[in-house]
Amino acid sequence: MLSSEPVRLGRRRRLSPCPNPLFLRWLTELRDQARERGLKTQHVYQKAICSLKKYPLPLRNGREAKILQNFGDGICKLLDDRLQKHYKEHGADAPIHSQSRRGTPRRRHSCNMASSAIPSETSRKSTGKKGCRAPKRLMGDGGIEKGGRKRREYVPQKRSGGYAVLLALYRHCQIPGSKGYLSKLELQREAQTLCDASFTAPSLGSKYTAWSSVSTLLQRDLLLKTHNPARYSLTEVGMALAQRLESSEKEEEEQQTSGDQEDASLGPAATIDLTEDEQEEKDACTTHRPEPLVTVPQKQSVEVGMSISGKPQAAGLDMRAADILLPGSYDIVLCVDFIETTGGCAARKQELVRELQRNGVTFDIRKLNVGDFLWVAKEKVTPVPGHLRPPPARELVLDYVIERKRIDDLCGSIIDGRFREQKFRLKRCGLRRPVYLVEECGSAGTHLSLPESTLQQAVVNTQVVDGFFVKRVQDVRESAVYLTIMTRTRL
């Protein structure tokens, strides 16, 4: 009697740590697709992946996965739909578990009665045809990769993080005498011009940057990471994909250039004199035109077109028709973010308001999209006879914006990533003189999650690297004094 034990030992492969590799692969593909599109559902898929990896038992369908944490009706329905397609393509008895061996001993026994040794490559091909497909399933680890359909090729979207990384490495390799790899900082610097998102600061409402797509490139064997500090280089597959992306990029540039040349060959367009009609429309609209933003004739004036939230106004405003606020026709008002007066330690935040009132500072509590404090030039208006309310006053944001940080708050913002995001938003708000107000917290600073040297280094980097003006104070009272002096010097 022939023993099947050597055959089993010869064909046994290392099992996957997850007993549901098919579900795990589908969820990973959904997560990668959502990450490439910048959707927030990527976090939902990531939580479901972590929960599935911890579950030690095989699942027969998506409905059974509902007992797991972070699995809702939507994800379970997606898994069931994928599972139905899988059964249609590979048969109703296609295995889906890495630990599933139902029915395989009988088929393996019937197929291996003719030979007691490990079959060669030719015998595997011959036995993998009609009537006996068990050896093929054993070799393909459940028939998911080798017996199933071919995985769709990964191509990153244009101007995405993965697209920029592949093109940057490919172009570097084309330079004569190049070393063939780039460090992280070099790769980020080279790829930033090819990407719309930032490689260092996360997008608003997300904790991921364009650099997060590098993990996808590593998983798909398009990128190779070696040495310490890390060196990044392209694999053969990544080089081929990057070459295709580069060729498509050149084709688009050539098409755009040829289109411009065709437009130039047509000659200048015929001109029609519409001066009279345009002048009539301009005269008719002059009396009904809304008041544009104003400028302040002093050193603290900012560019016309900046709103109170730090965002640029509509480009349709006529910049040449902007009025001017003469000295004495406006008041300087300190705008305080409402978060600085509510929430957290109410007593400490109300102390700042009391100090400003005691110093006679004119301030207004508002919701600010950027920063904690800023100043506006508010026009002085006089009541109109016959009207209950005076006309709305025009406002113009000055060039100073202050982000206030206590040491304990600075520690927390560094840990959760808000520190870099806030600095990035302050740089992009349009105000040219951002200030970082760092406030000590006394004895509370001795119980922090980060060492003092790390916090000091972060403050120094804010001043030296980011170009912010850093003002350090001891307590809330000194913060109020600094805001008072800044308000009075703006008058």
Least confident piece of the model among 68-77, 107-116, 371-380: 107-116
User: In the structure, what pLDDT confidence band is assigned to residue 262 with cuts at 50, 70 and 90?
Assistant: low
295 has a pLDDT exceeding 60 = no
Average pLDDT (439-450) is: 74
Cα separation, 221 vs 239, in Å, equals: 11
Do 435 and 402 contact (CB within 8 A), yes or no?
yes
Under 8 Å between Cβ of 360 and 350: no
Local confidence band at 464 (pLDDT 50, 70, 90 cut-offs): very high
The predicted structure's pLDDT at residue 92 = 80
Report the percentage of the chain scoring pLDDT > 70: 69
What are the structural domain ranges in the chain? 5-139, 161-240, 319-489
- Please determine, for residue 142, whether its predicted confidence score (pLDDT) is greater than 50: no
pLDDT in tens, 96-125: 775 444 433 434 433 343 333 334 444 444
- Summarised one tens digit per residue, pLDDT across range 221-240 is 899 998 888 999 999 899 99
Query: What are the structure tokens assigned to 443, written together?
Result: 């004895």
Residue 393, pLDDT above cutoff 70:
yes
Both tokens assigned to 126: 């011959």
Q: Are 333 and 363 in contact (CB under 8 A)?
A: yes
Q: 488 pLDDT exceeds 80?
A: yes
Q: Which of 7-11, 30-34, 227-231, 264-268 is predicted least confidently?
A: 7-11
* One-character DSSP codes across 347-369: HHHHHHHHHHHHTT--EEEE--S
- Residues 6 or more apart from 172 whose CB is under 8 A from it? 178, 182, 190
Please tell me the least confidently modeled range out of 168-177, 326-335, 439-448, 470-479.
439-448
Is the model more confident about 280 or about 20? Answer: 20
Mean pLDDT check: name the lowest of 20-24, 144-148, 198-202: 144-148
Condensed to tens digits (0 to 9), the pLDDT of residues 404-442 reads 998 888 898 898 888 888 899 898 888 989 999 999 876
Handedness of CA 107, 108, 109, 111 (dihedral sign): positive
Q: Please tell me the least confidently modeled range out of 124-128, 364-368, 469-473, 478-482.
A: 124-128
CATH topology classification for 5-139: DNA polymerase; domain 1 (1.10.150)
Say whether pTM exceeds 0.75. no
Contact predicate 136/215, CB 8 Å: no
pLDDT class of 444 with cuts at 50, 70, 90: low
Closest among 372, 489, 367, 485 to 437, alpha carbons compared: 372
pLDDT exceeds cutoff 60 at 25: yes
Is the omega angle on the peptide bond into residue 229 within 30 degrees of 0, that is, cis?
Answer: yes
Residue 329 banded pLDDT, cuts 50, 70, 90: confident
Q: CA–CA separation, 409 vs 345, rounded Å?
A: 12
**pLDDT at residue 402 is higher than 90:** yes
pLDDT band at 350 (very low <50, low <70, confident <90, very high): confident
10 Å CB burial of residue 304 (0-12, 13-18, 19+) is: middle
Q: Is residue 362 scored above 60 in pLDDT?
A: yes
- Residues annotated as catalytic are 337, 340, 372
Least confident of 71-75, 226-230, 347-351, 360-364: 347-351
CATH 3.40.640.10 fits 161-240, yes or no: no
pLDDT category, 206, cuts 50, 70, 90?
confident
Average pLDDT over residues 190-209: 83
Q: Is the pLDDT of residue 18 over 80?
A: no
For position 468, what pLDDT does the model report?
92
Assign a CATH topology to domain 319-489.
Answer: Rossmann fold (3.40.50)
Q: How far apart (Å, rounded) are the C-alpha atoms in residues 359 and 58?
A: 69
Q: What is the mean pLDDT of the chain?
A: 75
Place of tokens 């919701």: 367
CA distances from 394 to 296, 378, 413 (A): 12, 6, 35
Mean pLDDT of the region 9-33: 75
